[in-house]
Amino acid sequence: MTIINDILDFSKIESGRMDIESRPFQLHHTIEAVLKLLAPKAAEKQIALLSTLERGGSSIPETVVGDITRVRQVLINLVANAIKFTREGSVTVAR
């Protein structure tokens, strides 16, 4: 399903019909959701999955404005690839 969605997105980009949303969302929640989604894959490979982002304590604002769907897609792809190509140790999402 992910591959099909990616192909459809590429088609939309090439045709100039990709609509990018601009809405406020909580980045920390998005990152936590992505890590929770990919945690089973990391556990399967005995890889620790970490985030160094602290709520309220980092220089990243609690709420950002952007396209949450695209941000989530990018995070999932980056973290999934990091897990895929990590043999041992950990994968960390950091600012």
Q: Where are the domains of the chain?
A: 19-93
pTM here? 0.78
The token duo for 1 is 């399903």
Quote the CA–CA distance of 7 and 12 in Å, as a whole number.
Answer: 9
User: What average pLDDT does the structure give for the chain?
Assistant: 84
pLDDT tens digits, 21-30: 889 999 989 9
In sequence order, the 6+-apart residues with CB closer than 8 A to the CB of 44 are none
Identify the residue with better confidence: 82 or 11. 82
Give ∠ CA 68-73-77 in degrees, rounded to 5: 150
SS3 50: strand
Of 10-24, 45-59, 62-76, the range with the lowest mean pLDDT is 10-24
Pick the CATH number of 19-93 from 3.30.565.10, 1.10.150.120, 1.10.260.40, 1.20.1090.10: 3.30.565.10
